[in-house]
Amino acid sequence: MDGYYAFMLVATAFVLMMTVPALALFYGGMSRSKSVLNMMMMSYVAAAIVGILYVAVGWSMGFGGDGTFFANPFELLWLDGVTTDTYIGVMFQMTFAIITAALISGAVADRLKFSAWVVFVPLWSLIVYFPMAHMVFSCTEDSLICGRIGAQDYAGGTAVHINAGIAALVLVLLLGKRIGWPREQMRPHNLTLTMLGAGLLWMGWYGFNVGSIVFAGEEGEAFTERFMSETGRTFANTTLATMAAILGWLLVERLIHKKATSLGAASGIVAGLVAITPAAGAVNLSGAVAIGLVAGGVCAWAVGLKYKLGYDDSLDVVGVHLVGGVVGTVLIGVFSTAEGAGGVDGLLYGGGFGSLADQTLGVVVAVVYSGILTAVIAVAIKYTMGLRLDEEDEVNGIDLVAHGESAYDLHSGTSGGGSSVLAASTAPATTTSKTEGASA
Amino acid sequence: MDGYYAFMLVATAFVLMMTVPALALFYGGMSRSKSVLNMMMMSYVAAAIVGILYVAVGWSMGFGGDGTFFANPFELLWLDGVTTDTYIGVMFQMTFAIITAALISGAVADRLKFSAWVVFVPLWSLIVYFPMAHMVFSCTEDSLICGRIGAQDYAGGTAVHINAGIAALVLVLLLGKRIGWPREQMRPHNLTLTMLGAGLLWMGWYGFNVGSIVFAGEEGEAFTERFMSETGRTFANTTLATMAAILGWLLVERLIHKKATSLGAASGIVAGLVAITPAAGAVNLSGAVAIGLVAGGVCAWAVGLKYKLGYDDSLDVVGVHLVGGVVGTVLIGVFSTAEGAGGVDGLLYGGGFGSLADQTLGVVVAVVYSGILTAVIAVAIKYTMGLRLDEEDEVNGIDLVAHGESAYDLHSGTSGGGSSVLAASTAPATTTSKTEGASA
Amino acid sequence: MDGYYAFMLVATAFVLMMTVPALALFYGGMSRSKSVLNMMMMSYVAAAIVGILYVAVGWSMGFGGDGTFFANPFELLWLDGVTTDTYIGVMFQMTFAIITAALISGAVADRLKFSAWVVFVPLWSLIVYFPMAHMVFSCTEDSLICGRIGAQDYAGGTAVHINAGIAALVLVLLLGKRIGWPREQMRPHNLTLTMLGAGLLWMGWYGFNVGSIVFAGEEGEAFTERFMSETGRTFANTTLATMAAILGWLLVERLIHKKATSLGAASGIVAGLVAITPAAGAVNLSGAVAIGLVAGGVCAWAVGLKYKLGYDDSLDVVGVHLVGGVVGTVLIGVFSTAEGAGGVDGLLYGGGFGSLADQTLGVVVAVVYSGILTAVIAVAIKYTMGLRLDEEDEVNGIDLVAHGESAYDLHSGTSGGGSSVLAASTAPATTTSKTEGASA
Amino acid sequence: MKLVTAVIKPHKWEDVREALETFGVAGMTVSEVSGYGRQKGHTEVYRGAEYDIALVPKIRIEIVVDDADADDIVGIVVKTAQTGRIGDGKVWVSPVETVVRVRTGEQDASAL
Amino acid sequence: MKLVTAVIKPHKWEDVREALETFGVAGMTVSEVSGYGRQKGHTEVYRGAEYDIALVPKIRIEIVVDDADADDIVGIVVKTAQTGRIGDGKVWVSPVETVVRVRTGEQDASAL
Amino acid sequence: MKLVTAVIKPHKWEDVREALETFGVAGMTVSEVSGYGRQKGHTEVYRGAEYDIALVPKIRIEIVVDDADADDIVGIVVKTAQTGRIGDGKVWVSPVETVVRVRTGEQDASAL
Ligand SMILES: Nc1ncnc2c1ncn2[C@@H]1O[C@H](COP(=O)(O)OP(=O)(O)O)[C@@H](O)[C@H]1O
Ligand SMILES: Nc1ncnc2c1ncn2[C@@H]1O[C@H](COP(=O)(O)OP(=O)(O)O)[C@@H](O)[C@H]1O
Ligand SMILES: Nc1ncnc2c1ncn2[C@@H]1O[C@H](COP(=O)(O)OP(=O)(O)O)[C@@H](O)[C@H]1O
């Protein structure tokens, strides 16, 4: 019992680490160097805002009782009546709310007003994520996706990835393309950060998937046995699917572009993790490998769609999270086995089309619910405070304009000993005077 | 029981990771690129030196018996008589000794002789930290801060942060300002490293705070219940205070400078974690948010003081650790609740001024003890081997001068395929000959 | 029991993290910026390929029964008959197979064809690593190194480090030197990555060493006691040896080059961890410090040998892993104590030369077995598909040639607001058309 | 021979390159430089301090050309690099006595 | 018109800029370059090897000026950039036939 | 005085420096530039898109020399930097009216 609890302490820290700093690095590295800080900031402030909001009403809306879309937001307001020995469950769910919101940021690189993000995030969590978490994770009788439709989603293929992916698509359609896209090259400014971020995401994801185990009231021996056998399965599935996705992505890339890229490996990691997230408990090793391969290959192809269809999903949130999430959630209907956590046989194991139908319906509900409400929120912001940066600010770079910073000042390093005079020459008078003002 | 133990294994690894590499990255990113390696080295060598010294005498001075300032250094010399099944407790405490020394390095960027650091660190640990750890963490009857004064400090607001913060202040006053400060701009050379470092620090801090639970001999059920309820509280408090501090810092920055910076977000994370460190077990969720908000806001303002008062606390160890530590330690007297680990009600919960007085006294003792003895050590070094780098070496950069390295050689990357000829052109003859010598 | 299990979940994630991203960062930072991505890719694809291969036959070859060199590869093919509640054991061993293969990549920087790596890695794992893991870790009666010779190797001094180190040496001898080596300078392009990687490796190594505990069927109390006392020892030894190695390396460097470098500190961390890996359970604190000091010092000197002997072991896999592994494995014969996991007294504790002989024999077997078979594989590849990149490709940089990428595009950052026009100027027509093709 | 040196705004580089290509310029040498002039830089904010960055990023283009083409090329650069906003840059022409193509040793006109 | 090119030590840039500003120079173009000359570089140490870095970082300043101002400006640069230690740098003057302000098309004197 | 400007392939820099040193060139100023010309750049691939990089990295060398030495130095650069493959670069010579050594104020010949 306390072993499982000890693991949940670590798992929760791991999942929070997925957003701060892992996702921020993964996205930041793919941004241009004039907007990397803003990209990272979107994750960091999302963590701060959503975290506090989750404790305020998120937990209650998700787990404060029954309901089709959400539970009573006031039942457990500010964790009123929740005992501290169950806080870790709240914290764990909170980290999911955080990363889901943060995932969206990858689509809006370079051009979304920071103030708009700060307003969008809490509204979106309140109206879109908290209900979605109830529909999927509370699994109460009436809860739409888990309770009623009975779609399997072990750790958030629908609630997290499809949800964030469709929201990202809606947002970029309302936001428009970056100046110069796709004519101008907008390549990743620092792929070592992206590789690092992907690696940390992988580690953190063990908290995400393995920590999503739910017990059916077992005790003593039975509890430990359940703990070991189910986490063994989810750990191995998470691992193999990710590895298969790396290979799947690189293979497809090799065919299309004649090059297997590091960005492809990093993206393959995420695509595999996304796809196995809903299926981690449902499938066996072969199923995990199959889902990983398909997800890696399909996403590698899907990230090219934006050029065809002309939407500027800057860092491929749609191509990886929406597509990967759909692949994983739907394929449960094919590869799910009765020994799995859901106890349901998929198409391949003679379970017929039942599960496949449930899974597909679950996906549709998630897409429709999130798509429509995200559009409402984004439109509201667009026609009030506005979503988009001025053209000139976008050209100069949002790091400078919104945050008054630039990420790098490396001259003294590369030139071995000189100080970075050019990037740093200042009008002293101003500095000091301004500084006075600053500390006043 | 073994669940708690398993957690401590991870928690100890986490706290060590806070220094190597997290703090080194957090500070390194804020340094100039000509001194980033030296900044990281100060953390890395501190880990090596303090770690071994702690096992030698640190544990014994802290927990080898009773005493006002420290216990018998020879009682448990080199862990003599300590059984290996309790080693993890020693290792956990060791990681605290390491990071406390490393924290100081942020104040002395660019100008402290590396040799001086290598001498300062063990002396300071021996004379200042080890006793302080006894006064606070051993909590024996006679131990000054915990035993006698009875000030609450869950994980080291006084022993770690105030201690390091005041030591940093004393050291920079004796060391003097960097050449060109504040006239010349000395901005962070790589904010992605600082953001990364802050993120890893946050994760590691769960080991730091949550791992600081102390049991009162509970067994079986009671043990597990205590483990879950107290760690639930400390985990949630650590999380919420940090989030509130991010928002607090960014808000104040927005008001003063009209910009919310990424450096501010990273600093807010640390300020919040610092402030909640002593209070993690004492307060409830609202108290945690309050402490975080105050700490974030006050520190955001406090980092500007150095320009007013004219001390070059280069990376704001004083503004964040001293100020944040005082805020958190003192506010326990206001927000502490009887259900908390300390079982004491603060001012706000009808406990009157008693706790507030104890906390304040604890702070004063820490400041006075550390301040005076740090001064003695620093003066001793200054007038023997000297603290400060030569002027020309400081201009050329300590990485080159002290370590013979420069951090970056990125040309071939940015220029896509060329090799970094300029930064790297060498007089071959020399290279080889020198090399011969080298490997001889 | 479930506490130990919870720790193994984390430990396994830690060891996977050692390869992705830690080792990739450690090596990547030492590479030149025109080959950093390829260096990282070698670790990432090794993880994907070896991981799946291990589940397929690796586990079975290692633990599917008895045998001198390996067990029946088909016994547990694709984990057939392995219950999910023991999967974590498989996953843990899998992460060892992954990092051992990845370690080799450091030696072949800049010049090994990526396709050759993709072929080499699975062959090498199958023919060299999986058997070696059986000989050392299965410890069945007939298993050569553990069972027959009875050499102690707690976590893989022979199977992992000596194995990878000798393989690296053989490979570079067949591959040849980089163009311009050693005349041209080939210094690390980003030491902050290397420092970061070393730090993460250190944290992950607690999973590696501490997680390598093997129980003798204890139950209940006894199990917990064994868990605590042995992990306490291995955790402390791992920590102290690493710290001592940092100091040992820096000291020797100071003497030879008059500078203590950050690269030296990072390398010292790894050297110490490598050396204590086989000895973590066998020695006491003093033994750990001694082994760390020796390993750090000797490796610091050994990395210079390549200039003398003229082999281009680019990132010092031989100097650190082969040499460090030998030091640690052999010194067990000196410092091992009967209270240790092996229950054997070394030379220093009156055990005579018996243990020393066993350890040395174990080293010899590992070197000979791995050396010969690695040569066979490498020669086979060399004379079929070829090992080496074209000269011009090597000059232009393998990142560009093999992966079509360059790691950095930092201009807009350093120049504060401009967009990186030069590095990024594209012929639009092509872009779009190509893109069309891409997404077709 | 003449050397035409142009200092322009970074985001105009693509257009200028294309225009010159169309005109028939076979080659040029480009570098990233910092400009100081009427166009002021920006302000950056770091913990408790604000800094004025005096310099703005520019692109510097060098083209060695036949005497005859110099004026046309200057005209093309001015036309395409012009935004009308402060900071558009400068173009200047200076004499070159001889130019050689390293690959072949060809001189002057035939070296371009 | 003349082109004054100055190669100076990095930490002197601020002073030179201010001195030229005071004198009335309205603009200049600056770049980071590497210098090779009497001033030798430094030595770096990496695992088992030492490397001599032959080049030292310098700042390169280009100023197009009226013929009349050329000598004064050279004088100012030499005065303010001088430390007296080896490696202070060089300043040279070369002819410019014409200069144009991209924003307005103004020529020569009025283009500065 | 003359200014010799050479644009060469990066990996040739070492050889050129040595050759010039041997000839007796006491100093030069070097910078990393991007070249545009007959030698085409390469293609990079990023998620779903391929990009043609039009520019290739080059090294730019500036040497102020006595009129007498100009031709020899041009000859040395061409000889040592030559690979015979497209993209070897260009060398051009332009007039310099005066050069000053900042450290001493020495002029022209004695400033080199
Ligand atoms: N006298 C000069 N010599 C060399 N370069 C100059 C000179 N004056 C301006 N420049 C360059 O031209 C750029 C634009 O000049 P600026 O005065 O800012 O705007 P504008 O040319 O539109 O009046 C400057 O950033 C600088 O790089
Ligand atoms: N002949 C030259 N042509 C161009 N630049 C030169 C020349 N000689 C020196 N320089 C530049 O001037 C800088 C200083 O010259 P150096 O000989 O080191 O010191 P000093 O000028 O004080 O004698 C060099 O680093 C280089 O950038
Ligand atoms: N007209 C020019 N003015 C200035 N630099 C030029 C000119 N033409 C070419 N260059 C420089 O010379 C380099 C080599 O020229 P390129 O045409 O590619 O090959 P080659 O000189 O062998 O014909 C170019 O990359 C560019 O930097």
A136-180 confidence digits (pLDDT tens): 999 999 999 999 999 999 999 999 999 999 999 999 999 999 999
Q: What is the mean pLDDT of residues B311-324?
A: 98
Q: Long-range contact list for E12-15, CB < 8 A, 24+ apart?
A: E12/E59, E12/E80, E12/E81, E12/E83, E13/A421, E13/A422, E13/A425, E13/E59, E13/E61, E14/A421, E14/A425, E14/B184, E15/E80, E15/E81
CB-based contact B114 C301, cutoff 8 Å:
no
Q: Which pLDDT score is estimated for F50?
A: 82
Cα A51–A52–A58 angle (5° rounding)? 75
Give residue-wise pLDDT tens across range B277-295: 999 999 999 999 999 999 9
CB-based contact F42 C400, cutoff 8 Å:
yes
CB-based contact B400 E44, cutoff 8 Å:
yes
E17, E21, E29: which to mutate for ligand 1, most atoms within 8 A of CB?
Answer: E29
Distance CA C38, CA C406 (A): 10
Contacts of C261 (CB under 8 A, 6+ apart): B37, B403, B404, B405, C250, C253, E45, E46, E47
Find chain F residues with C-beta within 8 A of C427's C-beta: 52, 54
Give residue-wise pLDDT tens across range C25-48: 999 999 999 999 999 999 999 999
Interface mutation target, options C205, C228, C303, C395, chain B, most CBs of B under 10 Å: C228
Q: What is the mean pLDDT of residues C64-72?
A: 97
In Å, how far are C155, D1, E4 from C96, measured between CA atoms?
A: 9, 66, 63
A303 SS3 class: coil
Distance CA B83, CA B105 (A): 34
Ligand in closest contact with the CA of D87? 1
Q: Which pLDDT score is estimated for C411?
A: 66
In the predicted model, is pLDDT for residue C102 greater than 50? yes
Using N-to-C axis directions, what is the helix angle for A191-210 and A220-257, rounded to 10°?
A: 150
Q: What is the mean pLDDT of residues C333-345?
A: 96
Is C425 within 8 Å of F55 (Cβ atoms)? yes
The distance of A99 to chain B (nearest Cα, Å) reads: 14
Find chain B residues with C-beta within 8 A of A432's C-beta: 182-183, 307
Find chain F residues with C-beta within 8 A of B430's C-beta: none
Is B325 within 8 Å of B302 (Cβ atoms)? no
In the predicted model, is pLDDT for residue A253 greater than 50? yes
Tell me, in angstroms, the distance from the centre of ligand 3 to residue C154's CA. 62
Using alpha carbons only, how large is chain C's radius of gyration in Å?
A: 22
In the predicted model, is pLDDT for residue B413 greater than 90? no
Q: How many residues does chain B have?
A: 440
Distance CA E35, CA E59 (A): 9
CB-based contact E27 D34, cutoff 8 Å:
no
F34 SS3 class: strand
Ligand in closest contact with the CA of F28? 2
Smallest CA–CA distance from D47 into chain A, residue: A438
CB-based contact E54 F102, cutoff 8 Å:
no
β-strand pairing of D28-36 with E28-36: antiparallel
Q: Which pLDDT score is estimated for B428?
A: 30
The distance of B302 to chain D (nearest Cα, Å) reads: 8
Q: Which two tokens stand for residue A10?
A: 């670590």
> Is F8 a pocket residue for ligand 3 (Cβ < 6 Å)?
no
In the predicted model, is pLDDT for residue F59 greater than 60? yes
Q: What is the mean pLDDT of residues B406-430?
A: 48
> Which protein residue has the closest C-alpha to ligand 1 atom 9?
E27
Give residue-wise pLDDT tens across range A62-99: 999 999 999 999 999 999 999 999 999 999 999 999 99
CB-based contact E47 C316, cutoff 8 Å:
yes
In the predicted model, is pLDDT for residue A292 greater than 80? yes
Give residue-wise pLDDT tens across range D1-30: 999 999 999 889 989 999 999 999 989 999
**A–D CB contacts, 8 A cutoff, strictly below:** 46
Q: Where are the alpha helices (DSSP H) in E2-101?
A: 13-23, 67-81
Give residue-wise pLDDT tens across range D79-107: 999 999 999 999 999 999 999 999 999 99
Tell me, in angstroms, the distance from the centre of ligand 3 to residue C89's CA. 61
Distance CA B296, CA B102 (A): 22
Report the range of poorest mean pLDDT among A3-17, C170-184, C378-392, F38-52.
F38-52
Q: Which pLDDT score is estimated for C104?
A: 98
Give residue-wise pLDDT tens across range A52-65: 999 999 999 999 99
CB-based contact C236 B91, cutoff 8 Å:
yes
In the predicted model, is pLDDT for residue A421 greater than 60? no
Which residues does ligand 1 sit against, CB inside 6 Å? D 7, 35-39, 56, 58, 86-90; E 26-29, 62-64, 101, 103, 112
The distance of B216 to chain C (nearest Cα, Å) reads: 20
Distance CA A300, CA A313 (A): 14
Report the range of poorest mean pLDDT among A43-47, A424-428, B212-216, C19-23.
A424-428
Find chain A residues with C-beta within 8 A of C436's C-beta: 307-308
Distance CA C420, CA A298 (A): 31
Q: Please state the pTM of the whole predicted model.
A: 0.95
Strand partners, C388: C112
The model's confidence at residue A411, banded by pLDDT at 50, 70 and 90, is: low
- Pairwise pLDDT comparison (A429 vs F71), residue with the higher score: F71
Q: Which pLDDT score is estimated for B415?
A: 33
